[in-house]
């Protein structure tokens, strides 16, 4: 793919200090579709073809790349337009020191007589995603989390709740109202019933422990944002911009990757008081009303890439992509070559969530720099 512009950046051996890991911190387990956790080391090797001191992770997701960059002493600007992902950015990227203590966890897992607990989830989502007892737990946890007086502790708690919810969901998604897949007494060829039936409290404790272990201080002023890149007027300046947008699979009739659809329940939970007015009651899943994103619209996705590349053309641009995506890798190469002197492309076979081996695609990374 490409020609003489596929040049590798030679890193000077004297710059080894730039790659010194400040602290061994463990990145949390995730069940998020599209997470780069399993290939983060390969991606990091490709990203560090170029020198940079600061990075803007525009579609931050689970924070795998941001956390890796933070470990390597970079100043990190994490961003994600989904609120529940933003909580991850607050918890382990912007946050340098705050962890949930044992006392905090016990407070969160205790019913308090002085607090008024709602029943919205129990009533609105009965028999859809979780059992009655589990819905009650989620209603109460929402109130208890809001009693914490530190935003980073709240972020860790919200992140732990989100991962606990995903662990108990078939496919780790909310795209179907399919509680019955858990509760039916039948033989299954997929999923893990033991994990599904593990109490929320146990999942929560385990996930809090993982997020606590992900917190560390790299001595930099890192920030987490909750912005839509298409509407972000003044993003922070960074030496390198990392892009991992939702991809549109051109090999399928409806190839959109719609995270707002997959994770609407977690988004609603972060907007609990406004949740009732946000629900689309015309569908059984009770997803949220939302405007279609250009990243999930094949008629607008080209414009989205052109706009985003223009927006960050003063920085190194690194793009993670899927070989089956639209635009094609060749078309993206042309777009980047119009803006950068050097464009390097590498590919790695990678199994995507919810895909079979037969329809798996290559993970592609573009590194574009002047």
The string of pLDDT tens digits covering residues 238-252 is 999 999 999 999 999
Neighbour count for residue 132 (Cβ, 10 Å): 11
DSSP 226: -
User: From CA 317, how far away is CA 241, in angstroms rounded?
Assistant: 5
pLDDT at 193: 83
The answer on pLDDT for 112 being more than 60 is yes
Tokens representing 247 are 């991809």
Residue 69 is predicted with a pLDDT of 98
Confidence (pLDDT) at 361: 66
The half-sphere exposure of 215 on its side-chain side, counting CA atoms within 13 A, is: 22
Q: Helix (H, G, I), strand (E, B), or coil: what is residue 214?
A: coil
* Residue closest to 173 by CA, chosen among 156, 189, 190: 190
User: Rounded distance, CA 31 to CA 48, Å?
Assistant: 26
What's the pLDDT tens digit per position in 254-266?
889 999 999 999 9
Per-residue pLDDT at 108 exceeds 50: yes
- Secondary structure (3-state) at 263: coil
Q: What is the mean pLDDT of residues 207-221?
A: 97
Instruction: Look at residue 10 and tell me whether its pLDDT is greater than 60.
Output: no
Average of per-residue pLDDT values in the chain: 90
Q: What is the pLDDT of residues 165-202, one digit of tens each?
A: 999 999 999 999 999 988 887 665 555 788 999 999 99
pLDDT score of 107 more than 70: yes
pLDDT tens digits, 42-69:
999 999 999 999 999 999 999 999 999 9
**pLDDT at residue 204 is higher than 50:** yes
Q: Which of 34, 38, 281, 291 is nearest to 173 (CA)?
A: 34
Percent of the residues in the chain that have a pLDDT greater than 90, as a whole number: 80
pLDDT in the model for residue 21: 55
Confidence of residue 1 (pLDDT cuts 50, 70, 90): very low
Which among 9, 81, 116 is positioned nearest to 369, based on CA atoms? 9
Within 10 angstroms of residue 172's Cβ, the number of other Cβ atoms is 19
Q: What is the pLDDT of residue 31?
A: 83
**Consecutive H or E run containing 121:** helix 120-124
């Amino acid at each position: 793919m490409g020609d003489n512009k596929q040049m590798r950046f030679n890193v000077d051996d004297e710059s080894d200090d730039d790659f010194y890991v400040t602290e061994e911190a463990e990145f949390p387990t995730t069940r998020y579709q599209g997470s780069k956790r399993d290939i983060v080391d390969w991606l990091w090797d490709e990203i560090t073809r170029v020198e940079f001191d600061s990075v803007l992770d525009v579609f931050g997701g689970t924070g795998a790349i941001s956390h890796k960059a933070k470990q390597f002493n970079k100043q990190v600007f994490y961003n994600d337009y989904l609120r529940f992902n933003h909580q991850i950015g607050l918890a382990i990227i912007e946050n340098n020191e705050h962890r949930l203590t044992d006392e905090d966890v016990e407070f969160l897992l205790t019913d308090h007589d002085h607090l008024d607990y709602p029943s919205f989830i129990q009533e609105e989502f009965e028999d859809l995603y979780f059992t009655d007892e589990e819905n009650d737990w989620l209603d109460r946890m929402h109130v208890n989390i809001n009693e914490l007086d530190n935003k980073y502790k709240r972020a860790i708690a919200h992140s732990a709740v989100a991962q606990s919810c995903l662990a108990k969901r078939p496919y780790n998604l909310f795209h179907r109202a399919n509680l019955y897949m858990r509760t039916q007494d039948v033989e299954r060829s997929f999923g893990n019933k033991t994990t599904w039936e593990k109490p929320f409290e146990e999942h929560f404790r385990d996930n809090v422990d993982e997020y606590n272990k992900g917190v560390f201080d790299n001595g930099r002023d890192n920030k987490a944002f909750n912005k839509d890149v298409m509407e972000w007027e003044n993003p922070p300046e960074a030496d390198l911009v990392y892009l991992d947008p939702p991809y549109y699979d051109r090999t399928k009739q409806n190839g959109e990757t719609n995270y707002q659809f997959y994770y609407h329940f977690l988004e609603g939970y972060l907007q609990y008081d406004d949740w009732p007015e946000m629900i689309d009651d015309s569908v059984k899943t009770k997803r949220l009303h939302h405007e279609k994103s250009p990243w999930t619209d094949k008629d607008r996705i080209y414009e989205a890439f052109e706009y985003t590349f223009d927006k960050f053309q003063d920085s190194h641009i690194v793009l993670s992509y899927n070989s089956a995506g639209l635009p094609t890798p060749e078309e993206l190469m042309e777009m980047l070559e119009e803006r950068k002197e050097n464009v390097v492309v590498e590919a790695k076979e990678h199994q995507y969530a919810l895909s079979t081996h037969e329809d798996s695609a290559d993970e592609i990374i573009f590194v574009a720099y002047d």
